[in-house]
Structure 1
Amino acid sequence: MKITPIDINSHRFAKRMRGFDPEEVRSFLNLVSGEFERLVIENNALKEELAQIKAGLSDYKERERILKETLLTAQKLAQDIKEEARREGQLVIKEAELKGSQLLDQAARKAGQIEGMIQNLRVERDSFEARVRSAVEQHLRLLDMHRKEEDVEDRLRFMKKPTAGESA
């Protein structure tokens, strides 16, 4: 049975002989009623505060759950980003290695072509030197022959010169 301060205050006791002093009982009941009312109000306030705390706690638990989920999602996202970056890095490295290999092959082919051109130029140079040498030697022979012819002509002229007695 639930009792209220009004029940305490309005309760009437039966009178008997040699019973308690009605005024003293009334005064005590008023005192008990006031204290009981204060306790009921305090209890209600505490219940309300407890309900608010429970609601706040529930709110904090929900926030904590959301934060945990967010943290897990962020960690998963960070891990996914790291993994994607690692994969992309490996892909970039493979592409760079392939490109480097292609460039080396291309450079080797180009070096081979240049080496071939150098060989061809050397052959042409040697051929040109041989032709020039041959032409120079031929010219020297011609010059020598021409000089010999001049020497012969000079000797012949010297021999054909009239002596002092012959010219008169």
Structure 2
Amino acid sequence: MPLTPLDIHNKEFSRSFRGYDEDQVNEFLDQVIKDYEALIRENKDLQNQTLGLQERLDHFTHIEESLSKTIIVAQEAADEVRSNSKKEAQLILKEAEKNADRIINESLTRSRKVALEIEELKKQASIYRTRFRTLLEAQLELLNTEGWQSMQFDNSEE
């Protein structure tokens, strides 16, 4: 069992003839008690300090672990966001290509329809021109007939 300052203080020595000077021994023991008490206090302070430092170390270790986990979670979230963004970009691109194909097909269909309408209008214009020519030729022929030629007016009678 370790020696305490009280043990040192209460220690009694037997007296003998021609022994040590009692006052010197007591002074020395008092000094030993003071030094021993100081060492015990210092030891307790160091133990308390060690406990405090250990608690801080544990705290910082916990923070480090939390930060590591947080970084891992953040990295996983970033990877997931990146992956989702790529998928979404691919879907948008496919949708855009589909829309572009649809627009092109609609444009081609309209273009063909307009071309057919133009052809129909050309045919109708040709038919109208032919009919108009036929009408004009019939009217010219009518003008060239004898009935019209006999209806000439004499300008000299005026």
TM-score, L = length of structure 2: 0.91
Amino acid at match of 1:41: R
What is the rounded CA distance, in whole Å, between the counterparts of 1:93 and 1:9 in structure 2?
92
Q: Tell me the number of residue pairs that the alignment of Structure 1 and Structure 2 aligns.
A: 154
Which of these two proteins has the greater Rg computed from alpha carbons? 1
What is the rounded CA distance, in whole Å, between the counterparts of 1:33 and 1:109 in structure 2?
111
What is the rounded CA distance, in whole Å, between the counterparts of 2:59 and 2:150 in structure 1?
133
Match of 1:149 among 127, 147, 150: 147
Amino acid at match of 1:72: I
Q: Which residue of 1 aligns with 2:91?
A: 91
Cα drift, residue 151 of structure 1: 3.6
Cα drift, residue 153 of structure 1: 5.4
What is the rounded CA distance, in whole Å, between the counterparts of 2:128 and 2:86 in structure 1?
61
Q: Which residue of 1 aligns with 2:119?
A: 119
Seq. identity, %:
26
TM-score, L = length of structure 1: 0.86
Quick one: higher RCO (CA 8 Å, sep 6+), 1 or 2? 1
Q: CA RMSD in A?
A: 1.7
Structure 1 alignment gaps of length 5 or more:
158-168
Cα drift, residue 7 of structure 1: 1.1
Cα drift, residue 99 of structure 1: 1.3
Deviation track 1:100-124 (CA, whole Å, cap 9, x = no partner) reads 1111111111111111111111111
Q: Which segment is superposed worse, 39-48 or 5-14?
A: 5-14
Superposition pairs for residues 15-164 of structure 1, below 5 Å? 15-145=15-145, 148-152=146-150
